[in-house]
C-alpha cells in the first residue's frame, strides 16, 4: 500500500488571480480614472485627443509634474513642503535679476537660482529635524518669507528675460522637436528622465528603502540605523531644487519671471501625489502613480474647457477626484490586507 504524503493531502492554497494582483497596485486607481477621463472627454469632443491639443497639454504638464516627483519622495518619508510654489516663483527671479544686472553670466545665474533653492531646502530640513517642528508649519512660514522676498526684490513687477530663440539654455530646457506631427518640448524629456531616475531610486536603491522606512515606521528605522534626519534634509533640498528648476523652465517658456508665479501650486502638487496613490501619512509612494496623477489633473483642466465647462469649476473637479480616489485607495488597501 502506497502511503500518501501529508503535502499531497493538503489542499492547495488559493493563489491571487491576475486581476486581484493588478488591483493591489496603488497605480490601478489612477490608471482606470485616466482611461475613463480620456474616453469621456474624447466622446464629447474628439479634438481632445488631437495631436495639437495633446502636445499643448503636455507642455504645461511638466512644470507641476517636476515638483510632484520630488514631493512624492518627501511625502513617502512622512513630510510636506508647502513652500514649493514660492520657490517656483523666487528662483527665476533670482536668476534673471542677477543676469539682467550683469552680476553673473547666464550659466552662473542659472546655478545661483538652483543654489538659493538648495539653501531654502536645507533650512527647511534642518528646521524640521533639529527642532522637531511639523513640516507643515515650517514650510508654511518659509512660503510666506520667500514669496514676500520675491515681491520686495521686484516691487511686484516681473523680471524680463531674453529672446528665448537665441539662447542655448532655452533650447536645452524648452526647445522643441517633432515626432511625426506631434510637437515635443525638451521640458517633457527632462520630466520623463527625472521620473525614471527617481522611480529607480525609490524602488531599487538602499536610499529608497530608507525613504519608505522613514515614513512607515521611523522608530524602527532609527533602531535599524537609518539616518532619518539626513534622509529628510536631502529630500527637502531635492524638493526645493526641483521647484526651482520647474520655475526657471516656466520663466523661459513665458519669457518673464513673475514673483507671483506658482501661487497655489503647493496644494495642487500634493493633490497630484495623493491621487497617484502615495500614502498621505508616509511609508509608501509611487512615482509612476504620481505621473498618472499629474496627467489626470492637467488633462482635466484642458478637457473641461474643451467640453464647455467653465474653467472656474476646475477646483470642484479636483476636490471630487481627491475624495473619490481617497475612498478608492482606502477600499483597495483594506481589501488587500484582509485578502477578501
Residue pLDDT, tens place only, 252-261: 888 889 999 9
Nearest to 240 by CA among 139, 105, 149, 141: 139
The cell for 158 is: 516681473
Radius of gyration of the chain (CA): 22
Coil vs helix vs strand at 155: coil
Q: pTM of the entire structure?
A: 0.88
The cell for 96 is: 534673471
E strand or H helix at 182, and its extent?
strand 182-185
pLDDT tens-digit profile, the chain (340 residues): 444 444 444 455 555 566 566 666 778 888 888 998 899 889 998 888 887 887 777 777 888 999 999 999 999 999 999 999 999 999 999 999 998 888 888 889 999 999 999 999 999 999 999 999 999 999 999 999 999 999 999 988 888 776 544 477 778 888 887 777 777 888 889 999 999 999 999 999 999 999 999 999 999 999 999 999 999 999 999 999 999 999 999 998 888 899 999 998 998 899 999 999 898 888 889 999 999 999 998 888 888 888 887 767 777 877 888 788 777 767 766 665 665 5
The cell for 7 is: 503535502
Domain 49-325 is found in CATH 1.10.150: no
On whether the CB atoms of residues 84 and 270 are closer than 8 A, the answer is no
Query: What distance in Å separates the CA atoms of residue 136 and residue 139, rounded to the nearest whole number?
Result: 6
Q: Please list, in sequence order, all residues whose beta carbon lies within 8 angstroms of the beta carbon of residue 49, skipping any fewer than 6 positions away.
A: 38, 42
Cα torsion for 222, 224, 227, 231, to the nearest 10°? -90
On whether the CB atoms of residues 232 and 102 are closer than 8 A, the answer is no
Amino acid at each position: 500500500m502506497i502511503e500518501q504524503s501529508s503535502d499531497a493531502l493538503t489542499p492547495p492554497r488559493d493563489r491571487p488571480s491576475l486581476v486581484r494582483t493588478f488591483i493591489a497596485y496603488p497605480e490601478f486607481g489612477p490608471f482606470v480614472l485616466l482611461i475613463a477621463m480620456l474616453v469621456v472627454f474624447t466622446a464629447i469632443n474628439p479634438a481632445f485627443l488631437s495631436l495639437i491639443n495633446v502636445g499643448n497639454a503636455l507642455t504645461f504638464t511638466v512644470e507641476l509634474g517636476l515638483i510632484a516627483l520630488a514631493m512624492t519622495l518627501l511625502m513617502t518619508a512622512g513630510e510636506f513642503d508647502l513652500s514649493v510654489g514660492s520657490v517656483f516663483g523666487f528662483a527665476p527671479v533670482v536668476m534673471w535679476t542677477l543676469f539682467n544686472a550683469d552680476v553673473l553670466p547666464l550659466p552662473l545665474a542659472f546655478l545661483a537660482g538652483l543654489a538659493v533653492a538648495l539653501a531654502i531646502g536645507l533650512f527647511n530640513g534642518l528646521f524640521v529635524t533639529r527642532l522637531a517642528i511639523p513640516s507643515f508649519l515650517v514650510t508654511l512660514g518659509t512660503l510666506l518669507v520667500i514669496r514676500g522676498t520675491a515681491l520686495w526684490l521686484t516691487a511686484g513687477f516681473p523680471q524680463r528675460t531674453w529672446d528665448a530663440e537665441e539662447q542655448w539654455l532655452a533650447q536645452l530646457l524648452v526647445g522643441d522637436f517633432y515626432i511625426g506631427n506631434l510637437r515635443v518640448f525638451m521640458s517633457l524629456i527632462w520630466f520623463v528622465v527625472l521620473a525614471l531616475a527617481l522611480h529607480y531610486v525609490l524602488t531599487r536603491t538602499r536610499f529608497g528603502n530608507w525613504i519608505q522606512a522613514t515614513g512607515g515606521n521611523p522608530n524602527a528605522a532609527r533602531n535599524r540605523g537609518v539616518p532619518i534626519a539626513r534622509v529628510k534634509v536631502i529630500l527637502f533640498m531635492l524638493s526645493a531644487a526641483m521647484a526651482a528648476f520647474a520655475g526657471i523652465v516656466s520663466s523661459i517658456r513665458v519669457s518673464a519671471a513673475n514673483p507671483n508665479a506658482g501661487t497655489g501650486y503647493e496644494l495642487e502638487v500634493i493633490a497630484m501625489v495623493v491621487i497617484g496613490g502615495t500614502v498621505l501619512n508616509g511609508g509608501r509612494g509611487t512615482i509612476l502613480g504620481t505621473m498618472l496623477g499629474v496627467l489626470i489633473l492637467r488633462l482635466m483642466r484642458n478637457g473641461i474647457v474643451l467640453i464647455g465647462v467653465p474653467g472656474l469649476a476646475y477646483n470642484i473637479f479636483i476636490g471630487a477626484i481627491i475624495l473619490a480616489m481617497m475612498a478608492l485607495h482606502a477600499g483597495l488597501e483594506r481589501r488587500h490586507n484582509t485578502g477578501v
